[in-house]
Every structure is written in C-alpha cells, then in structure tokens.
Copies of this chain bind each other. A is one copy, B any other.
Amino acid sequence: MKTIEQLLESKNIRVTAMRLLIYKFLAKKEVAVTLSDIENAFEKADRTTLYRTVKTFEEKAIVHQIDDGTGITKYALCEKGCNCEIETDLHLHFHCNNCNETICLTDHKIPQIKVPDGFVSENVNLVVKGICDKCSV
C-alpha cells in the first residue's frame, strides 16, 4: 500500500501541497470530473495550476482523460496497474443523460473491434450513454 507521496515520487513528480490535494479530490470522487469541477473545489488556486497539475498527472498516467461526447474533457484516476496506453487495458465509460455524470466502468473492458483490411487499430474509445444506476431506480 503506497502513500500518495510515494506514488508521485515513483513517477518523478514532485510532491506539492496542491498536487496532494488534487489527487485526494480525484480519489474521493467516484465520477469523472471536469477542470471546472476542480476549480470549484479549489477556488483559491489558479485555474492554470489546476490545469497543469492535471496535465502532469495525465502524462505520468496517474489520471486518464475521458471524452464522453459532452464537449468537455473529463478526468479520472487510473486504476492501480492501469496502463492507459495499452489497448487491452481500455475500459468503457458510461455517461448518464439524466444526471450528466460520467463514470469509468473499469471492469468492463472494450471488446475486440474488427476493422476493415488495411486499417490498423491502435486505440478504442467507447462511451455508452443512457441512464445510470442512481438515476434508473
């Protein structure tokens, strides 16, 4: 069980107060968040800092970006051992048309998609839209 500090250091990211706070914020969220969400949670911090922190996390595979079709990019923590770059690791995402939230379905891996001859698949983005469990009761 790694501490957050150890995790950051293992990826050559300097530990700062801001980074720890943002990491914890993402960790306690069970849904993907936008930059605005983070902004609202840390009103004293500058947008740019938050932006760059998330980008750093993204580069170092601490978070992954989610394009759920709303036009606003969202972010969520990577699972332990998740290597976002590897295709086989890709899970699907669910976007609720009711509460407008997006979540990772981390144990729903994307099935193998056939593409025509001559095409090479490197990566797949799969977003299911509908009604989430909280909204469908």
Contact = CB atoms under 8 A, between A and B. Distances in A.
Most buried by B among A105, A119, A132: A119
B120 A125 contact: no
B119 A132 contact: yes
Given A105-B115, A105-B116, A116-B105, A122 B126 contact: no
A123 interface: yes
Contacts of A97: 122-123
Given A69-B67, A126-B124, A131 B119 contact: yes
Contacts of A99: none
A61 to B, nearest CB: 18
B113 A126 contact: yes
